Structure 1
């Protein structure tokens, strides 16, 4: 074990974040996802230049996996395994066992004399090689020999669909990056890559029959998403748009790119060698602006643009549309060997269909009652075509709205429609779980993200054990409107994906052990060139206050990180001063802090504001009663300030800071009013998690500003309070798509915890 790792683990142990038993096993077997069963054994196996790798007589089908393991060991250690048994040498043996039930299952037995890997299929054998890959040292200390611990493992996955998604339409990614992405999926035993190849912002796959799809549809001038990224890049270079995908075309600066069919064949072969299935998505009938601009006849009116909510879709009432769709999918089906084709069929702006005469005629002819059924008509026709080609259709959960066949596979994403996966399962459809919370990895991560992913419940409540078998797995999605670079993509999904891999493969709550094992993967990710999200720095809040002075003591999650800071408003750089172990603040100031890895990669930048306050005097309230007044505004708000402009629909009393049952509208605002019964004088920290936005005020002072439309993120602040009743105000907005609201507090160096119900009071109504 490296000296850096010793220091890192010692820090975690002394902080009480892991127990000694958990650390000991995690250090010896840092495997993610954790195997189904693992039995520790004494001793270790030594790999040397004399070690040979051989295949049993019944294991000839494992040649590809044997060669890959040789490459893994060569890259990790510099040692080239022999295919011939040498005198005095050790051995690695591949053998087949048809009796292993799961096609991805394997057995791994490591003794001081021999490594035996047993599998039924090449897929199972490959999964075993990735376990060995994680047991190898990240960096070889010696090129003469390396050791791996003795162990006996029996392993197989819980779920058959363990997926990751990548949107290459909004922002484009190189062939090289896709291979890097696939290799990371393989390392953590994921087995599906859902590739979102087309959308309004770009068409990314060559279709030979329709060349304008890439000649025109693959390129765009900078849009509002690009401009947002450019603005954010001023504070974070990860948001810089990759110049590899910017060209000068017809006198204009254009962004884009596409994969030729030959390039895609190369990517597919790379993934197949790692037993990862690539599922292509050509999103239709909506999200087709890039195609309609190239071929205007595809829309009902011959025009394209934006409707009330989404872009104008292709027309499901013209036969030319079906000819186009079948031509496109024929080339896609010929290209991708996957048994699945993803149709998309989400977020369709159906108003143009309701207005089109050709659709009115078709609906009357076919007995179609509404535009939702019209979408189902399109989906049914495409599914019939897919079946004729031997493929299965996948669609986003909107395909349920007008009725679907049980043979279609539903990908559930709308977390605000919790009945959708239950409805699909009861209809006989297989379901893949991809709810926005917590599996949209384009949502900015915070300190709670890994915990939330790890504790995701794959099978929703409301299904019987038999119905639950319809849930075949889950995947995380990465939509790239605001992910313009490969570094930003790395940051968004690593290490979150490691938590998902364990949820789907191991399906046991081993979170403490997982945290211990994850610590040891950061060096591996660093060596692989992954721009992962550095774990959160702690010991402060975003908005800090002091009465006399404050002391900033940053707690590092990884010992080898260097913490650097600035006080002049500039961003911390690798050349900025190192933050001392404790920094005393006596005057109002703003400090920017960031962690840097040994390679110079920078983590999140924390802007810490310090202001001086006196302790707020308590209020005098006669005979207070428990609870806060919660007022409900069923309207759409961009921010909490707008709540004041609307009339309330009702008021209720809540005993904790929760969204009341009365708040049933898709979008709404809430205000909470009352008092906090503060038990002792001090500087209190408060942590407000909102989806979408919220503001916390205590004693008339703004403590946390987490306002605006955004996904669930936590922001924090401090306030100096005297013992007694202190007025509290919380304003909260929900813009649609599922809400989150949580308020916690801490005093001194204690960990954040929920506010006791006994603290929340209000004046007694007369």
Structure 2
């Protein structure tokens, strides 16, 4: 069901208790005394509304003990109907030494309670090959629980790289474990059409396959150092003498997957992206275009033509079959990144616009979306589109999915227009963006409600989801790494709606890793703490790492090779006395390797201060309205304006989608020391101090923090920072620390020019 109104709920304070490592944490939890033991003799009773939930519950017991529980009219485990619980997904869970009761008004509520119990059971029950236990024990507890947001979603793009049905089931299993409830499946794009449409068979016989493209080549290059980038060979075939990559799902496979997800109370939301991102379809059915061409335009691929009735016939036929497969109330039409310039060149399009009173190309875009929404509504469905659909005017009944972080007013305009809004901003909810040590923190502290909405308007925000675009995710292991454990932070934020106890969440997350190991989830290991990758020392330095997980092993190499499970283990602090490069990685007992850290040690003398004469506060800054791939290219361009900056930040007056800013001057260093600097950029930046490169975070990429050190004498030191933004939202943060202190903003009083 697609819920279109929902308020947020306040939660009670969390208590970090190792007996209850539940994510997301319940709305209310009161610990009891003692435990409840479950054996093969334990009986289970259930209201007849909850037959599926009994089956799901028994799967846990069969996996843990080898046998399921027998039904009875009254049992020490009871699943009860409670009409007084108003929330669709709400439940009450009571565990005492004598028994266990889950009460809810809906099967969904009962199932959410079962997933809470699942997290209280031993992690070993997730391992089908583990030795069966004679009994399972649960701690006594009283829980009352319900979600803050109705839409708690995950998105997966299967077009750029294809994923097996078995992986989609695994993805659903992990979603269910953490009470996520919407699975947005991106089924079509320029790179591949992944769902069988019987009326248009060439969509899959031709459109589901491609020769290797530039993204595949980039993955192959990365695979030399990381096996997670190896393109899955099960999706590579030989066709007509060519090596082809791809695959598609039959309608029956998808119907089976829908049923599998429904049993776990997860809705699958299909997306067929149009009018843009349709190259895979146009290749086989060129009548969809305005001019028969199928290529990339000025910005994106050329879209299908909204002036041809045959386009609407095609779209309605496709979505009719989609609706027969997917019973979800909501259907996603995409509607993003449409290159409208080609429409403006068409005589037929101009005539169509004149006949229909359409003023501009944005209005034509909206005409297509609005017409398709009427078709959806006639079938009893609701239309979802990415936030571009509001630009030319949209009906208030459409659902808007906000993703363009650089257009902060989009969700506000949609909410004020009466639209239901789902928040999916690229920062921090694009899980294809490379994770760093701040990623989980940023997701956990994400607020779905835009600041400009009042309490009534905020009700339009029904939740959020994370998106996984798969251009650089060619394997199932890589997909696991990119979304886990980030998804647990989003699950907690959307269910519990609490940001006040981050440390409690981290403590509970640490206890989840063993469960994920047993589920064969190739999650990203916790970051090694306080890692400075460009390290500077005067006499000696010491490599000493506090392990974030007790059973980790830290291994390293000094010869440039990548750390392996048999590399030297860092058991005691390692003294560094010369400039050298050390590669470090953490390993779990089952052999999983964490991120590889390349630490460049550099023996350095203190940079002497400069004496420029009279200085004044601030930095000289130059603004460039242009696109740059690298900061080194800025010097070849002419600046558009200059200003004085008292901080490292982008002025609010900057409106260009792509730009660069240079900051020049001095920092007034208060004391001799080796200073650490932390530079977060989206897209890229390079920091130089005393003519020494301190942090190189160059290139076009998502928000990533990189760091480095420099040895400085007290006094004025030359300061140079170049920053580039390639388009799609910027981020620029610079912090420093000294002698292991917490990173902090550089005081404005340090900046001089």
Return the TM-score normalized by structure 2.
Answer: 0.96
The 8 Å contact of residues 76 and 138 in structure 1, kept in 2 or not, is answered as no
CA drift at 1:379: 0.8
1:110-189 mapped onto 2 (5 Å cutoff): 110-139=95-124, 143-189=133-179
| 5+ long unaligned stretches in structure 1 | 1-21
| 2:71 counterpart of 1:72 | no
Bigger shift: residues 193-202 or 558-567: 558-567
SS at structure 1 position matched to 2:524: coil
Cα distance between partner residues in 2 of 1:77 and 1:623: 79
3-state DSSP of counterpart to 1:697: strand
Aligned-pair CA distance for 1:752: 2.1
**Does the Cα contact within 8 Å between 1:554 and 1:581 map onto a contact in 2?**
no
Q: Does 1:107 align with 2:92?
A: yes
Give the secondary-structure state (helix, strand or coil) at the position aligned to 1:504.
Answer: helix
Map of 1:563 onto structure 2: 554
Please report how far the alpha carbon of residue 528 of structure 1 lies from its aligned counterpart in structure 2 after TM superposition. Answer: 0.6
**Do residues 593 (structure 1) and 581 (structure 2) align?**
no
Q: How many Å apart are 1:142 and its aligned residue?
A: 7.4
Match of residue 394 from structure 1: 384
Counterpart Cα distance in 2 of 1:207 and 1:174: 18
- Counterparts of 1:554 and 1:626, CA distance in 2: 39
By how many angstroms is 1:24 displaced?
7.6
SS in 1 for 2:492: helix
- Residue 610 of structure 1: how far off its partner (Å): 1.4
What is the CA–CA distance in structure 2 between the aligned matches of 1:361 and 1:522, rounded to whole Å?
Answer: 60
Cα displacement (A) at 1:244: 0.6
1:355 Cα offset (Å): 0.9
Question: In terms of mean alpha carbon deviation, does 614-623 or 184-193 score higher?
Answer: 614-623
Give distance in 2, aligned partners of 1:442 and 1:581. 36
- Aligned residue among 39, 59, 81 for 1:96: 81
1:626 is the counterpart of 2:611 = no
Alpha-carbon contact 1:79-1:144 (below 8 Å) kept = no
1:717 aligns with 2:718: no
1:4-46, Cα deviation, whole Å (9 max, x unpaired): xxxxxxxxxxxxxxxxxx9984311111111111111111111
Distance 1:23 1:129 in 2: 20
- Confirm or deny: 8 A CA contact 2:22 2:508 kept in the other structure: yes
Please name the residue that 1:63 is paired with. Answer: 51
How do 1:464-543 residues align onto structure 2 when only pairs under 5 Å count? 464-509=454-499, 510-543=501-534
Q: 2:357 matched to 1:367?
A: yes
Provide, for residues 255-280 of structure 1, a one-character-per-residue CA deviation record: whole Å limited to 9, x for no partner.
Answer: 00000011111110100000000010
CA distance in 1, matches of 2:355, 2:739: 72
- Among 673, 695, 705, the alignment partner of 1:704 is 695
How far apart, in 1, do the equivalents of 2:17 and 2:440 lie? 18
Please give the residue correspondences for 1:41-52 in structure 2 after superposition, counting only pairs within 5 Å.
41-52=32-43
Do 2:676 and 2:710's aligned partners in 1 also have CA atoms closer than 8 Å? Answer: yes
Q: Describe the shift of the 1:251–1:620 C-alpha distance in structure 2 as closer, same or farther (beyond 3 A).
A: same
Return the offset for 1:538.
2.3
What is the alpha-carbon distance in structure 1 between the residues aligned to residue 669 and residue 726 of structure 2?
32
Partner of 1:330: 320
Q: Match of 1:683?
A: 674
Q: How does 1:312-331 map to 2 (within 5 A)?
A: 312-331=302-321
- Does the CA contact (< 8 Å) of 2:64 and 2:132 recur in 1? no
Q: Structure 1's 85 and 377: CA in aligned 2 closer, same or farther, altered over 3 A? A: closer
TM superposition shift of 1:79: 5.1
What is the rounded CA distance, in whole Å, between the counterparts of 1:315 and 1:162 in structure 2?
A: 34
CA–CA distance in 2 between the matches of 1:392 and 1:544?
Answer: 55
Partners of 2:697 and 2:531 lie apart in 1 by 17
Distance across 1 between alignment mates of 2:414 and 2:541 = 55
Aligned to 2:260: 270
CA–CA distance in structure 2, aligned partners of residues 179 and 51 of structure 1 = 30
Alignment deviations for residues 231-253 of structure 1 (CA, whole Å, 9 cap, x no partner): 11111111110001000010000
The question of whether the paired residues in 1 share the 8 Å contact of 2:329 and 2:381 is answered with yes
Q: Is the 8 A contact 2:63 2:132 kept in 1?
A: no
Offset at residue 635 of structure 1 (A): 1.6
Aligned residue in 2 for 1:294: 284
CA distance in 2, matches of 1:448, 1:313: 37
Counterpart contact for 2:64–2:133, Cα < 8 Å? no
Q: CA deviation at 1:621?
A: 4.1
List alignment gaps of at least 5 residues for structure 2. Answer: 1-12, 126-130
Residues 77 and 687 from structure 1, CA distance in 2 versus in 1: closer, same or farther, beyond 3 angstroms?
farther
Q: Deviations over 1:192-241 (max 9, x none)?
A: 00000000000000001111000000000000000011111111111110
Counterpart of 1:19 in structure 2 is: none
Partners of 1:132 and 1:191 lie apart in 2 by: 18
Q: Which runs of 4+ in 1 moved over 4 A?
A: none
Q: Is the 8 A contact 1:37 1:153 kept in 2?
A: yes
Matched with 2:437 is 447
Match of 2:231 in 1: 241
Task: Identify the range of structure 1 (252-261 vs 620-629) with the bigger mean alpha-carbon deviation.
Answer: 620-629
Per the normalisation by structure 1, the TM-score is 0.94
Deviation of 1:756 after TM superposition, in Å, equals: 2.2
Give the Cα–Cα distance (whole angstroms) in 1 for the partners of residues 668 and 309 of structure 2: 69
Q: Is the 8 A contact 1:540 1:552 kept in 2?
A: no
What is aligned with 2:249?
A: 259
Cross-structure match for 2:405: 415
Maintained 8 Å contact 1:676/1:760: yes
SS of equivalent residue, structure 1 residue 283: coil
- Work out the number of aligned pairs and report it: 735
Deviation at residue 543 of structure 1 after TM alignment: 1.1
Secondary structure of residue in 1 paired with 2:376:
helix
1:430 is the counterpart of 2:415: no
2:567 aligned with 1:579, yes or no?
no
Contact 1:77 1:139 in 2 (8 A): no
State the alpha-carbon separation in 2 of the partners of residues 25 and 746 from structure 1: 30
Structure 2 residue 535 is the aligned partner of structure 1 residue 544: yes
Does the 8 Å CA contact 1:373/1:403 hold for their aligned counterparts? yes
Q: For residues 255-306 of structure 1, what are the alpha-carbon distances to aligned partners after superposition, in whole Å with 9 as ceiling and x for unaligned?
A: 0000001111111010000000001000001000000001111111112011
User: Which digits, 9 at most, give the CA deviation of each residue in 1:410-436, with x for residues without a partner?
Assistant: 000000000000000100100000011
Q: CA RMSD in A?
A: 1.5
What is the distance in 2 between the residues matched to 1:483 and 1:196? Answer: 14
Contact conserved, 1:634 with 1:663, CA < 8 A, in 2? no
Q: How far off is 1:654 after superposition?
A: 2.0
CA distance, structure 2, for counterparts of residue 142 and residue 285 of structure 1: 53
Give the whole-Å Cα distance in 2 for the aligned partners of 1:586 and 1:489: 40
Question: What's the offset of the Cα at 1:607?
Answer: 1.0
Residue 353 (structure 1) aligns with:
343
